[in-house]
Amino acid sequence: MAEIEKKATSALEQQRVWEYATAPEAKDIVRLEDRYGLFLGGRFVEPKSGRYFETIDPATEEPLAEVGEAGEEDVDLAARTAREAWEERWRDLPGKERAKYLYRIARALQERSREFAVLETMNNGKPIKESRDVDVPLAAAHFFYYAGWADKLDYAFPGRVPRPLGVAAQITPWNFPLLMCAWKLAPALATGNTAILKPASTTPLTALLLAEVIEQAELPPGVVNVIPGPGGRTGGWLAAHPDIAKIAFTGSTEIGKILRRNVAGTGKRLTLELGGKAANIVFEDAALDQAVEGIINGIFFNQGEVCCAGSRLFVEESVFEPLVDKLKARLDTLRVGDPLDKNTDIGAINSRDQLEKIEELVQSGIEEGAEMYQPDCDLPERGFWFRPTLFTNVSQSHRIAREEIFGPVLSILTFRTPQEAVEKANNTEYGLSAGIWTEKGSRILWMAERMKAGVVWANTFNRFDPSSPFGGYKESGFGREGGRHGLEPYLDLNGGNGR
Amino acid sequence: MSKAAEIERNTPSLALYAPRDASRLVARVTSVDAVGLEERAASLGRRSIKRESKLWALDLAIRSMDLTTLEGVDTTGRVVSMCAKAVRPDPTDVTIPSVAAVCVYPQLVPVALGELKRSSVKVASVAGSFPAGLGPLGARLAEIREVVDQGAHEVDIVLNRSQFLGGRYAACFEELAAAREAAGEAHLKVILEVGELGSYDRIRQASVLAMAAGADFIKTSTGKIGSSATLPSALCMMEAARDFSHETGRRVGIKVAGGIRASKQAVQYLTLVYETLGPEWMAPDLFRIGASSLLNDILMQINKERTGRYQGPDYFTID
C-alpha cells in the first residue's frame, strides 16, 4: 500500500511559503476624459485662462488627464455665479428640498462607489482597500448625515435664528480628495449656502467626478462649482473675492496662516483644519496586540498622509521593549506596493514634492541620532514610495518629534507617569488628535480631560463618523467639521441674511 | 508514513511551569480589546486570495483537516466510509492529498485504526468526558489512557471550564497536566470551547493556561454548542500562541473547529495563521481544521479553480 501514501502527498506540499497572488481591482470602471474643464453654473466649461495642467497617477507617474486651471477671471465668474445661485435658487429653498438633493448625491456616491474608489486610488496613490472601505463610504455618509439636518436647522441651536451666510469657498487637500469635498459641501449645502470647491492641484479627479454626480442629481445650476488650480493662485484669488462670505480650508498650517492674515478685517468667516503631530499614548496595562494595530493604523493609514496621524508614540517605559518588538514584527508584514491591489496595505506617496519632504525629515532624524527601523520590502521602480518607518531613541527636541512629516514615519518616545505623558503629549505646537491606550476607564477620562487635542480616541485611532465633530487646537486650526457643531461655521445664528 | 501528517513534538520541557504558577500566569496575560481584535480579524478576512495562492491554501486546508464525526449515532459503517474519504478525498483525482486525521468517539477508535493502518491519516479521539468535561477526574484520565492504549495518535480533550471560570486555575492546570501525562506519546489537543468563555480576555487566559500545562494544540470548540470558532477568537488564540512561542521557544498548534463549512472560511483562517504566526505554522503539525462538510466544498472549489466551472454537488462523494 505504499502506493497510497505516494499518491496521498500533493505536489503543492513542497512549497511552504505562501505568496498572495496579485489581486488588482480593474481600472476599466473608470472612464477618464483626456481633458477636464471647470464645473461652473451647472456644466463643464473651458477655463477662460486657457491653461491646463497635467494630473498623474503617483504609483506609476503616468499622466491620467489634463485639467483646466481656473484663472482670476474664472474665479470671478465662479464667485458671481455662486452668489447669483444663492440669491435666486438656493437661499430660500425649503430645507426639505435641499435635503432631497443631498440624499440624491449620497445615493449616487453609493451607486458609483467602485468607480470613485478606483479613481481616488489612481489619482492619490492610497490603497484600494482604504478608498473602498473608508473614503467613499464615509463621503456618502456625510451627505446622508447632513441631508438629515437640512430641514431641522431651527432645532439645532435652540433660541437662535440660523441663517445661511452666502457663498462658501472651500479649499480641500490632496490626502482625502473626495472625502474632504464631502466634509465641506454637505454642511454648506444643508445650511443653505452655495459653494465653490477648489480641489488640491495634484488630486482634482474625484472632485470633478463628484461634479458629474452633482449634475446627475440636478442641483440648481451654480449651487456647486468646482474650479481646480494651484493653491497659491486659484486659491488665493478665491479667498480674496468680495462675493465670498465664508472660507473653509483644510491643508497645511503654513497656508492656513496666510489665509488668516488675508481674511483679517474682511468680515469673512473662516475655518481652518491644519496640520497635526498627534500623540498615541500606550500605558502598561493596555491590550498590547490591539494597541499595536491601533498604532499601525494611526501612522500608516493613508501612508501617514493624515493630518490627525498618530505620528508620536508615547510608550510607558515598562512595556517599551515588548511593544517595540511587536511593532517591528508587525511592520514586517505590511504589504507595500500597487495601490490597486486589494491586498496592499501601504500605497504610493502622493507627489514627488511630498516624498522629498518625507525623505528630508527622515534624514534629519538619522542625523539627530534617532535609531531607524524599516522592513526589508521591495518597492516598485516607478512612482513615489516610502517604506514604513519607525524611529526609537527619539527625544522631544528632535525635528521628527516636532514637525509634521505627513508620511509613514513613526517617532517613539517613552514616559513614566500619566502626568509626564500629558506634559509631553501636549508639548507641541499642534493639537488635532490624540490616542489613549489603557484598560482603565478612569485613566482614559483623566487623560482626555487634560489632552489639548480636538479629538481624543480611546483604545482606537483614526475612527471617523459624520456625527462626530472634528477639528483642532493651537496651530492645528479652529472650527469643527462634522456633527451638529459642523453646521455652525456655515450659519449666522443671529438671524442675519448674508452680507 | 507521510511527513505531512507526522506531528513532531516540540519538547523544550513541558515542566516549564507547575500548578503553583497557574494563577500568576493567568494574571499577567495581556488584556484583549474586543473592538480592535474584531476589526483586525475582519480586515484579514477581507484579504483577496486568488488563483495559485488559493489553490495552495485549499490544498493545505485538506492536508490540515481533521475529518470529524462526533454523533451519538456514529456506527462502524459510518466511520469506515469516512476513513475511505479521508485517505482519498476525491477517488477520481490522485493529486488531492489525504487529510491529516479523522476524529471520532473513543468506541470507534479501533474501527478507524483498522481502516487507516496503511495510510498516512492519523486517528484522533475525543476523550475526557467530551464535550462537557465534567466527569470524575479518574474516569476522564482513564478514558484518555484507554484510547491511547488502543492506538489513537491524537487526543482531543476539553478544558475544565467549571474550574477555569471559577478561578481555580491551579486545579485546572493540574488536570491538564495529568491529562498530558495520561496521553503519553499521543498528541494532546485542548479544546477551550471559546463560545462559553464569554470574553476574549478569558480566551487568551485559557490559551496560556493550556499551553503552559503542556497542550500540543489549543482548539477553539467542540462543535457541540451553538457558537463555535470565529475569526476573532481564533486570532486571539493565535496571538497567545505567538507570544508563548516567543517567550518559551515552544510552538503550540492551533485547531479551529465548529461551523467551518465553506472554503472561503478555511482560507480566511489560513490568512490569519499566515499573518499572525507566520509560514512556520502553515503545516499540519501546527495547524488543523476540524470539519466534516468542508471537504466537499474545498474539492468543488479546487475543481472550479482548475477548470473554471462549478460542478454539481453530486459529483463529489458523500461519505
Predicted confidence (pLDDT) per residue in A47-64, tens digit: 999 999 999 999 999 999
Tell me whether strands A167-171 and A371-373 are parallel, antiparallel or unpaired: unpaired
The single residue listed with the C-alpha cell 518629534 is: A401
CA-nearest residue to A440 within chain B is B31
Tell me how far apart the alpha carbons of residues B176 and B196 are, in angstroms, rounded to a whole number: 18
B117 is catalytic: no
Which one of B33, B52, B98 has the shortest CB-CB distance to A21? Answer: B52
Give one DSSP letter per residue of B190-241, joined into a string: EE--GGGT-SHHHHHHHHHHHHHTT-SEEE---S-SS----HHHHHHHHHHH
The count of residues in chain B is: 319
Task: Indicate the residue of B36, B49, B97 with minimum beta-carbon distance to A459.
Answer: B36
Give the torsion through C-alpha atoms of A218, A220, A223, A225, to 10 deg.
50
**Nearest CA to CA, how far is A156 from chain B (Å)?**
32
Within 8 A of A133 by CB-CB distance, chain B residues are: 46
Nearest 5°: the CA angle A145, A248, A349 is 90
Contact present, A439 and B199 (Cβ < 8 Å): no
Q: Could you read off the pLDDT of B39-67 as tens digits, one per residue?
A: 999 999 999 999 999 999 999 999 999 99
Residue A13's pLDDT is 73
> A323-338 pLDDT, tens per residue?
999 999 999 999 999 9
Residue B186's SS3 state is coil
CB–CB contact A13 B97 (8 Å) = yes
B244: closest CA of chain A, how far (Å): 13
* φ, ψ of residue A284 in degrees (nearest 5): -55, -35
User: Phi first, then psi: what are they for B150, rounded to 5°?
Assistant: -70, -20
| Nearest-neighbour CA in chain A from B184: distance (Å) | 26
CA nearest to B51 within chain A: A21
Interface test with B, best of A290, A342, A345, A460 (most B CBs within 10 A): A290
A129 touches chain B (CB under 8 A): yes
Q: What is the 3-state secondary structure (H, E, C) of chain A?
A: CHHHHHHHCCHHHHCCCCCCCCCECCCCCCCCCCEECEEECCEEECCCCCCEEEEEECCCCEEEEEEECCCHHHHHHHHHHHHHHHHHHHCCCCHHHHHHHHHHHHHHHHHCHHHHHHHHHHHHCCCHHHHHHHHHHHHHHHHHHHHHHCCCHHHHCCCCECEECCEEEEECCCCCHHHHHHHHHHHHHHCCCEEEEECCCCCCHHHHHHHHHHHHCCCCCCCEEECCCCHHHHHHHHHHCCCEEEEEEECCHHHHHHHHHHHCCCCCEEEEECCCCCEEEECCCCCHHHHHHHHHHHHHHHHHCCCCCCCEEEEEHHHHHHHHHHHHHHHHCCCECCCCECCCCECCCCCHHHHHHHHHHHHHHHHCCCEEECCCCCCCCCCCCCCCEEEECCCCCCHHHHCCCCCCEEEEEEECCHHHHHHHHHCCCCCCEEEEECCCHHHHHHHHHHCCCCEEEECCCCCCCCCCCECCCHHHEECCECCHHHHHHHEECECCCCC
Answer for the pair A372, A389: CB distance below 8 angstroms, yes or no: yes
CB contact under 8 A, A18 and B270: yes
Nearest by CB to B48, which of A285, A286, A342?
A342
Q: Examine the residue annotation and report whether B93 is marked as an active-site residue of this protein.
A: no
* Residue B313 per-residue DSSP state: G
Q: What grid cell was written down for A186? A: 454637505
Out of A18, A22, A460, name the one closest to residue B56 (CB): A18
- Looking at residue B290, the DSSP 8-state letter turns out to be E
CA count, 13 A, side-chain hemisphere, A225? 32
Under a CB-based contact definition with an 8 Å cutoff, are residues A410 and A401 in contact? Answer: no
Q: Give the chain A residue whose CA is nearest to the CA of B282.
A: A16
- In the prediction, which pLDDT does A6 show? 43
Mean pLDDT for chain B overall:
94
pLDDT in tens, A461-483: 999 999 999 999 999 999 999 99
H or E element, residue B127? none
Residue of B nearest to A291 (CA): B36
Nearest CA in chain B to A3: B119
Is residue A304 within 8 A of residue A311, CB to CB? The reply is: yes
Percent above pLDDT 70 for chain B: 95
Report yes or no: A318 at the B interface, CB cutoff 8 Å: no
Comparing CB atoms, the residue among B50, B60, B274 nearest residue A21 is: B50
Q: What is the ipTM of this complex?
A: 0.92
Residue position matching grid coordinates 475612527: A463
**What pLDDT is recorded for position A18?**
87
Q: List, for residues B126-163, the tens digit of each pLDDT value.
A: 999 999 999 999 999 999 999 999 999 999 999 999 99
Ramachandran sector of residue B77 (left: φ over 0; alpha: ψ -120 to 50; beta: rest): alpha
A377 counts as catalytic: no
How near does any CA of chain B get to the CA of A298, in Å?
Answer: 13
- Write out residues 249-288 of A within 8 Å (CB-CB) of B: 285-288
Give the whole-angstrom CA distance, residue A282 versus residue A408. 19
B287's CB contacts (< 8 A; 6+ apart) are B64, B253, B254, B255, B270, B273, B281
Per annotation, catalytic residue among A25, A69, A181, A307: A307
Q: How far apart are CA A215 and CA A230, in angstroms?
A: 24
Residues B199 and A228: their CA atoms lie apart, in Å, by 52
CB atoms within 10 A of CB B30: 22
A20 closest CB neighbour out of B47, B88, B95:
B47
Q: Order of strands, edge to edge, in the sheet holding A371-373?
A: A371-373, A389-392, A409-415, A312-316, A279-282, A433-437, A455-458
How far does B128 lie from chain A, in Å, by closest CA? 32
CA distance B44 to chain A (A): 9
Strands A52-57, A62-68: pairing kind: antiparallel
Cell (9 digits) for B145 = 489512557
- Classified as helix, coil or strand, B121 is coil
pLDDT at A109: 98
How many helical (H) and strand (E) elements, i.e. helices and strands, does chain B have? Answer: 12, 8
3-state class of B154 per DSSP?
strand
From the CA of A415, how many Å to the nearest CA of chain B? 20
Count of CB contacts below 8 A, A vs B? 110
Could you tell me how far CA A260 lies from the centroid of its own chain? Answer: 21
DSSP state of B119: S
Q: Which of A289, A325, A439 sits opposite B239 (nearest CB)?
A: A289
Mean pLDDT across A429-439: 97
Amino acid at B191: I
**CA nearest neighbour of A132 among A173, A178, A101:** A178
**How sure is the predictor about A11, in pLDDT bands with cuts at 50, 70 and 90?**
low
What is the biggest distance separating any 2 CA atoms in chain A, rounded to whole angstroms? 94
Contact criterion met (CB < 8 Å) for B118 and A289:
no
Mean pLDDT of B267-294: 96
Q: What is the pLDDT of residue A390?
A: 98
pTM of the model: 0.93
Q: Taking 90 as the threshold, does the pLDDT of residue B259 lie above it?
A: yes
Contacts of B279 in chain A (CB under 8 A): 16-18
Q: Going by DSSP bridges, is the β-strand pair A38-40/A43-45 parallel, antiparallel, or unpaired?
A: antiparallel
pLDDT > 70? residue B204: yes
If you measure CA to CA, which chain A residue comes closest to B5? A9
A319 to chain B, any CB pair closer than 8 A? The answer is no
Q: What are the structural domains of chain B? A: 24-308 (3.20.20.70)
A139 — pLDDT class (breaks 50, 70, 90): very high
* Nearest-angstrom CA–CA distance, A85 and A94: 15
Judged against a pLDDT cut of 90, whether residue A130 lies above it is answered with yes
**From the candidates B85, B189, B255, B297, which is the catalytic residue?**
B255
| DSSP assignment of B22-44 | HHHHHHTSPP--HHHHHHHHHHH
Q: How does residue A12 score in pLDDT terms, banded at 50, 70 and 90?
A: confident
Report residue A266 as a C-alpha cell: 474682511
Does residue A31 sit at the B interface (CB-CB below 8 Å)?
Answer: no
DSSP B91: T
Chain B residues lying within 8 Å of A461, measured CB to CB: none
* pLDDT at residue number A10: 62
All cell numbers assigned to A12: 503543492
B211 phi, psi to nearest 5 deg: -65, -40
pLDDT at residue A16, rounded to an integer: 63
Q: What band does B6 get if pLDDT is binned at 50, 70 and 90?
A: very low
Nearest to B131 by CA among B213, B70, B65, B218: B70
Cell of A41: 453654473
Reduced to 3 states (helix: H, G, I; strand: E, B; else coil), residue B187 is strand
Name the band, by pLDDT with cuts 50, 70 and 90, for residue B3. Answer: very low
Q: How far is A147 from A470, CA to CA, in rounded Å? A: 18
pLDDT at A424 (0 to 100):
97
Burial of B257 (0-12, 13-18, 19+ CB in 10 A): buried
Taking alpha carbons only, the member of A348, A349, A366 closest to residue A358 is A349
Among all chains, which residue has been given the C-alpha cell 471520532? Answer: B104
Residues of A in contact with B98 (CB under 8 A): 8
Banded model confidence at residue A244, pLDDT cuts 50, 70, 90? very high
DSSP state letter for B128: S
* pLDDT at position A17: 73
- The residue length of chain A stands at 499
- Cβ of A458 under 8 Å from any chain B Cβ? no
Domains and CATH numbers, chain A: 35-273 (3.40.605.10), 279-466 (3.40.309.10)
Cα A112 to Cα A131: distance, rounded to the nearest angstrom: 13
Which is it for the CA torsion A192, A194, A200, A206, positive or negative?
positive
A-chain CB neighbours of B119 within 8 Å are 1, 4-5, 8
Joined grid coordinates for residue A389 = 518607518
Q: Answer whether A13 touches B (CB < 8 Å).
A: yes
pLDDT at site B111 = 98
In tens, the pLDDT along A208-233 reads: 999 999 999 999 999 999 999 999 99
The one-letter code for the residue type at A61 is E
Closest Cβ opposite residue A9 in set B4, B43, B57: B4
- Whether residue B32 and residue A289 make contact (CB cut-off 8 A), yes or no, is yes
